[in-house]
Chains A and B, each alone.
Chain A
Amino acid sequence: DADVTQTPRNRITKTGKRIMLECSQTKGHDRMYWYRQDPGLGLRLIYYSFDVKDINKGEISDGYSVSRQAQAKFSLSLESAIPNQTALYFCATSDLAGSGSYNEQFFGPGTRLTVL
C-alpha cells in the first residue's frame, strides 16, 4: 500500500552491526506494528504501538527495539544483528473501528534483511 512506506527495501549487513528499519505512513492511523516473516512461520509480531507514547512487546521482541517518533513514524532497530534475524520485515498500520470490531491492517512493501 503506497500509504505505508518502508526504507530500505533491501539491506545486507554483517553480524554485530546496528541496523535501523524505518516505516512511515500517511493514513493517519494511530496504531503501528512491526512483523517479521519467515518461510513456514507466517507473520510474527515483534513490537506494536497504539500511540506515540505507547510501546508494547510482541511475541518475538528479543534482539529488537523500536521508536515511535511521531504518529506517522515507527522505527525498528537491531542493536547487534545476527544471522537468524535474516528475514522479511513488514510494517503495518491500523485504526480502531469501534467497540467489538477492529479495522484491517495495512502493510508496507517490506524490507528484506540479510545478516551475514
Chain B
Amino acid sequence: GQQVMQIPQYQHVQEGEDFTTYCNSSTTLSNIQWYKQRPGGHPVFLIQLVKSGEVKKQKRLTFQFGEAKKNSSLHITATQTTDVGTYFCAGRRTGGGNKLTFGTGTQLKVEL
C-alpha cells in the first residue's frame, strides 16, 4: 500500500534557526496537505498543494510540492516558540480514491 515517510522524526532548534521537514511518498500523489499538531492538541490543517512544482508561502512557512508529485517539504524561517509541535504531511494517491494517507510526522522543539 501507499507509504508516506517524513524526515527527520525529531528536530530541536534554537529560536531563530530555520527548520525543514521532508515528506516522501512511495506513489504519485494527486495533492498533498500539511497539518500541525500542538502538544496535547489535535491536527490542524495548514495548506494544500495540488500542482507539480507548486510553492506556497504563509508568513515564515514555505511549502513545496515536488515536480514528480511524490515529495513535499515544509520550511520554517526563523523559528519561534509558537512553532513547537508535530508537522504532518498527508497525501491522496493518484487514482486511489478519496483516502488521505498521513506521514509519520516531524516533531519540532524550539529552545530559547
B98 & A50 in contact (Cβ 8 Å cutoff): yes
Q: How far is the CA of A45 from the CA of B45 in the complex (A)?
A: 17
Q: Give min CB distance, A76 to chain B, whole Å.
A: 16
A45 & B92 in contact (Cβ 8 Å cutoff): no
Q: How far is the CA of A100 from the CA of B101 in the complex (A)?
A: 17
A18-26, A35-43, A67-75, A77-85 - interface stretch: A35-43
A101 & B50 in contact (Cβ 8 Å cutoff): yes
Q: B90: which A residues are within 8 A, CB to CB?
A: 43, 105
Contact of A43 among B43, B44, B45, B50 (CB under 8 A): B43
B residues near A, CB below 8 A?
1, 4, 6, 9, 30-31, 33, 41-45, 48, 50, 88, 90, 92, 98-105
A110 & B31 in contact (Cβ 8 Å cutoff): no
Contact of B99 among A41, A42, A45, A90 (CB under 8 A): A45
B33 & A40 in contact (Cβ 8 Å cutoff): no
| A59-B1, A101-B48, A102-B92 known; A42-B102 Cβ under 8 A | yes
Closest-by-CB residue of A relative to B97 is A56
Closest-by-CB residue of B relative to A6 is B42
Give the A interface residue count (CB, 8 A): 26
Could you write out 15 A-B pairs with CB less than 8 Å apart? A1-B42, A35-B102, A42-B88, A42-B104, A43-B88, A43-B102, A45-B101, A50-B98, A59-B101, A90-B42, A100-B50, A102-B48, A102-B92, A104-B33, A109-B42
Q: How many A-B residue pairs have CB under 8 A?
A: 60
Q: B102: which A residues are within 8 A, CB to CB?
A: 35, 42-45
Closest-by-CB residue of B relative to A107 is B42
Q: How far is the CA of A101 from the CA of B90 in the complex (A)?
A: 14
Q: Give min CB distance, B84 to chain A, whole Å.
A: 16
Best-buried of B9, B92, B99 by chain A (most CB within 10 Å):
B99
Q: How far is the CA of A41 from the CA of B103 in the complex (A)?
A: 8
B100 & A107 in contact (Cβ 8 Å cutoff): no
Best-buried of A1, A101, A105, A110 by chain B (most CB within 10 Å):
A105
